[in-house]
Each structure stands twice: as C-alpha cells, then as structure tokens.
Structure 1
Amino acid sequence: MGSNQGCVGRVGEAIAALVEHDPATLDDTALRTALLDLLRHANQLDAAIARYVGAFDDRKLGRADGWSTTKQWIQAYGRLSGPAATSRMRAAATIRLLPSLEAAFDAGEVTREHVDRIGLTAREIGDEVVESAEEPLVAIARGHEPEAVRETCERLIDEVIRDKRIPAQEQHRRRGVTVARAGDMWKLRGILDPETGVLLTTALDTFTKAPAPDDERSPAQRRHDSLADLLNTVLREGRAPVVAGVRPHLAVLMPVRRYAALHDHGTDQATDRATDRARGAADADAADGPAVLTGYGVIPDAFAARLSCDANLQQVWQHPDNGLPLKLGRAYRNTPPALRRALATRDPHCRWPGCRMPANWCDSHHLRTWIRDNGATDIDNLVILCRYHHVSVHERGWGIRYDPGSGTVAITRPDGTPYELGPSRARTGRYATLTRLAA
C-alpha cells in the first residue's frame, strides 16, 4: 500500500514540475515530441485512474463519506458532472471485461473516448457480444479516431438487433432509452421492445398530420415535433403521476422585472434599473439575472417569453443573500405543493454538499422536527435532501446545520468532525417562478 501511495505521490510531483515548466522555452521539434508524449501519458493516467476506480468500487469506500455509490463519490469529490463520473465508472468496468483493450489503454495507444464508446456498446447489447468482437474493436481503436469506433459499434448493435437467433428474453434485456444534453440541444437514443416500438410509432402517427405544401420540415423533424405534441398533451391533461406532491411541469425562474419587460406589463425598465443602481450593484444584478429553465439552465429571453406566455405565475420573493422565500408556520406538517415549489426555487437539488439529485426526486427535511422540537413547516426550517442523505441524517448519525443568514448548509460526520465538502449554497435572487404544465 505504501509503495502505491509513494508512486501516486511521485506522479503528483512530476505533474507539479511539469506545470512549472514553460513550453515556450522548447524548440519546434522538442515541443512537438513533448506534446505527443503528454497526450500518450494522459491516456496512461486515465487507464490507471480506471483501475483505481474499480478497486475503490469493489470496497464500497464511498459509503464512509456519505455516498451510496462510487459514481456519486467521484462526482462530489472529483467535482465532475454526472456523465463524466459515469464515464469513469464505465471505463473501470470495460477494461476488466477486455484485457487487450486494457493493455492498449495502459500503453497510451487508445483514449478514454475509445474505451467509453466500447463500454457503451457493451451496456446496450451485452458483455458477451462485445467480448466476442474484442479483437477487431481494439484493432480499430488502436489505429483510428473514436468516430471510427463509434461507427463500428453501431454496425455491431444493428447486427445484434436484427439477429433472430438471439432469444427473445435476451433481446428484451437490451431495451433502454438514453436522454443526454448535447450542447444547447438534447440527444435521444434507444432500443425499444416490440410493443413499446409499436406504441411509440402509433402515437407519433396520431400526432403527425400530412405535410402542407409549404411545410419544409424533414420527416425526422416532423416526428420530433409530433413527439413534443405528445408530451405536451400527456402533461396538460394531468395523466402523468404526481411527484413529491407536485404535478409534473416545466419551471421557468426569472427576475420579476425581466418577466414584466418581456411581456410589456408597463414597467419602465430604465427607471427600474436606475432604482436598482440606487439600491446597490448586487441587488441590481439579482434583478437583471437571466431566465433559468429548471433541469436545463439559462435560456434566451425569446425562449423564456414563449414558455411564460400562458404559464401559471407564482411570485417567490427571495432575499438576495440567502434565498429565503416565504413562511407557512405550523399549519402543515407535510410540505404543501406551493411551499414545495418555493423550496425547490431555493434548493433545486439535494443540499448535501456535492449531491445533484433533482429536487423532485428528493424529500423535504425539517431541521427542527415538527413533533419533538415544535419545528415549523417554514422555508427556513426546511432543506431538500435526497432519500439516501435524508436517511443518513436521521438514521446514520450525520449532522446537518442550516445558516439562515447565509442560506448555507454544512454537514458533520457521525463522529462530530466537519465534512470536507461544502458548505452548499442556496440559489439566490428574487424570482418569479413560472410553471407550465407543458412547453
């Protein structure tokens, strides 16, 4: 163990020395050689990280730091996005599955993109199929860019889907749908079982009208728009299940003066901004903040104006420093929908430092208990916690402290020592929360 720790320490020292070195001092040939070496070493470092991730996951060490999975631990402590942490986990599993790919990764001959693409394929069509195609896949990865591996994997997936010799139960196991951000858009990918495929095509056909003479949309674009109509209809008619006491909806958060300006409600924007400047720069920034689509991020004004055109308006006035909205006292023990929406405005995800579980999948936790401590169902006595971290506070001895002055949440370990991560901060600013049952 000590030898391994010493090895990692030496890597750290070498990287620190490398950061100190100025590449401008190298001649052209030396710079080219050094850059190629660095790219290869980066691949080798990724291979080493994948093995360490696998060993860490085998021992379930993340639980000691308050995380149910290694992926969540990596995301929190490595400050990675969810997809990036998932990619690290997938790399660890893939090199275990394919020894020759691991050897190429160790040698720096393939990148994490190559490994990730092959790992995604194994997830879609099964480890056994990818193992049987290991030799050609690794050969392509060694000699070509990740796009070539992707094309090869897609051909392999198509062959497996069309192979009628594969038992129906095994084909059914390969079903799945993935929705992922791709820049400002979303990418949808999936393998559907026969019944679901027919249901989807029938539903899309129902919402797809014959194209008008001036309709320049492609068939794929028309199917996309039909899918949007289908989703809108399901949400508008209330056929989707209630989650955490709230009907599914799109939530657009924006400063009230921006909302008024977008919809021409008679607000003199120049006067408002002059007033803001008189109140201070920080307050002006809060008032002039962008519109935010929950679950997506900042959106342009034109998009925000369209989404909020026929939305239900709920004003949530927040303190610019701590994000505190409203109070409901002890009239309710369970968090009612209006307060739940206000709470999600301040806490759009679990407030455990580093956790990004969306609020609609989380619980509302009373900091002072409703029965024993006479805790009120007020916004300053509630925080959003995912189920795992909610149980950690109630049953595993972890402590949680909320500072109403700053809106921060700090965690203590069961032994009373401060948690290394955090504190987490509330989303702040004065917002009008505009909710739509559909886009």
Structure 2
Amino acid sequence: MGELQSAVDALAGEDLTHLFGPALLERLGPLLVLQNRLAAEVARTVRQCELTGASEHDGLKSMAAWLRGHAHLSTPEAGRVVRTGRALAHLPATAAAFADGTVTPGQMATIAPIAGEEQRAAAEAQGVDLGAVDRALTEVAQGPAHERLAQAVHHYLEALDPDGTEPDPTEGRRLSIAKHADGSVTGRFDLDAVGGEKVQAAIESIVQANRPQGDDRTRGQQNADAFVQLCDNQLAAGTLPTLRTVKPHVVVTIDVDDLADTDTTGPGAARTGFGARISAARARWLACDATISRLIMGPDGLPLDVGRDKRVVPPHLRRAVEQRDGHCVFTGCAAPTHWCDVHHLREWVADQGETSLENSALLCERHHTKAHHGFRVERDPGGRWRTWRPDGTEIVAEPVLRV
C-alpha cells in the first residue's frame, strides 16, 4: 500500500501544463485502466470484509453502512460496491476482466444482478450455463456494442422467468428535484418503458415544433426548453388541480422600488413561491405578461393592505395580439400563440410603456428571454416584424432554396 500511495503521489505531482492532446491522452488511457483495477480490488476487499464481519470492528452491522460512514459513499454507491463484491465469485470471466481493467465498475455493477441468489437458482433449475452467459456478457462489455450491455442483461433476466407475474411498472417510478443556492434545480427521474415513452413523445413533439432558423442549442438544451414549455402550456391551460382553491401558477414577490429600478440587475431582489431568489431583471421579464397584486407592508413586516389583482395584459388585448401576430414574432421562429407571452416593447414598469396593441409583441418563452437580454424586436410601418441582436445587427431569415 505504501508503494501504491507513493506512485499516486508521484502522478499527482507531475506538471501537466506543458502537455498537449496526444501526450495527455497517452497518460489518460492507462490511468483509466488502473482506475478499473483499483475498483476491482476495492470490491474484492469489501466482499472479504463482509464474509469476515469486519464492519463489526467499527461497530457497524454491514459493509454498506461502513462504506457510507467511513468512505462517504452515497447509499446507492455503497450498495453497488457490496453487490459487485458478492458477484465476483460467481462470474469468473467478468471478474477477471474487471481485475485486468478492461471492464469498468459501472459495467460490473450492470452484470452483477445475474449472480443474485434467486437468479442463480433459476438458471440452475432451467439448465442455463451461467458461465457461458458470464463470458458472453463480458464480450459485450469489452466490445463495440458495450452500450447495449444493460439491455442484454435485462433480456437475460426476463428470459429466466418468462411466465412470471407481470410486475406493476409504475412501482419503480421516481422523480426527485434538488434546489440549489441560486434557485436553480437539478432533477432525476426513473420511469418504466411506457412512462418514458409518454414523456419522450410529449417532449419530442415540442422540440420538433420549435426549431427556429439559426437555432444553435444542443439537444440537451432543446429537451430542457421543451420540458419547461410543456409545464408552461399546462399552467396556462388552467386545467391542473387547484392548490387550496387557487390554480397553480408562478408566484414572484418583489419590492416595487426594485421592480422599477432598471439601473441595476437587482440580484436576489425577488422571491418565488417555492423559495428561490431571482433578480429584479428576471422579475421584470415575468411581469410583462402577468397578474399584479399590490401589498402594502407595515414596519413589522405584516401586510397592511392588499390591492385587487390586476392583469397586466387583459384577455381582450391578448386575443387581439394573437390575432395580429399569429405566432412568435422573433425572426426565424414560428412558435404557436399558446406558447407565447405578450411582451411590452417599451417596459411597462421601467419605461412606462403602455399596455396596448401597438406596444405588444407575441414572443415564445425562449425569445421573450432574449428580448430582455439585449435583443430587440420592432414592427415597421409596413407591419413586418424585425429583430436586432445586442450588437445592433439585424437578424435576417434567409430564404430557403429548394432544388
């Protein structure tokens, strides 16, 4: 262990700044193999610890608990290492490839379920040669079709019990949302095949319907925008279940002085209904097409007076804007009216822009954001909408030539 520690220290002490592409990749390849080999030794050692009850030495009942407390692994990570260690003795081909560094920890964890006690018993009862399956899956993991490893394992496990009871696919559904300090969120979901198909179909429909000219978003960004648009459509439709007699909507609270002060961005000046802090500039963007409620607060922080809700863009004006514009007016975009906000060309708070047909433009969520970050849309005397970039150059939609 001392020699290994010294070798790692020597690697960590190397100066990489003078290296470039090929040399860096030559260094990286062996490191990845060694990383796999070290993970194999960790799993093998964890299994031996489990067999000898080593965790009891530190007062813990399982190696999973020890890994969580002493190695700071998450619960899923600790479970994966323990299950991998248990599978090694039953999967010699995969174990050897893991020890050689040609199979990754993730691949080993993917294959490990076939060595579970129930799965081994089912294979034996049906006369399945587990060794042959082990070798075949190892070849998949090491070969060009490695991305299909999980699918191959899934097919094998299903084949072990072809006449078994069909499980309820919804029981495995999970959706978790983590909020960060800046108000942004990170999410993860696990869905069954049918649930996943529904989500993909809904998102894909919006992605394919909103591909404006010059769109340079990555596919991941397109999916994220489509997901937000999907939620926006549902919120705007007003058909979602009510929350304590109120239809679900985005709530933002901001001091009127912060809302009106356009000299600064006003970071953290506004608070959303779920507790996120956003800038005053972001709140002004949301206020373009929103319902405003006035609250007068006393010195003790308690409301003294609550004014009546007032829709910034009344329904009759929105209908007129939709009828005139027909879709998002940002050059190159044709997002439908029900995806769009009514944008004030001259801000109604900062510039005292009136809420009128002449001062309104229909913009989708993506391009409404652009309009509040330096882009500008205007309607010329001939009734044609034109768009300018922050640098003053005009965005011109080139004609599509068909041959």
The TM-score with structure 2 as length reference comes to: 0.43
Q: Rg bigger for which structure?
A: 2
The one of the two structures with greater contact order (alpha-carbon pairs below 8 A, sep at least 6) is 1
The TM-score with structure 1 as length reference comes to: 0.40
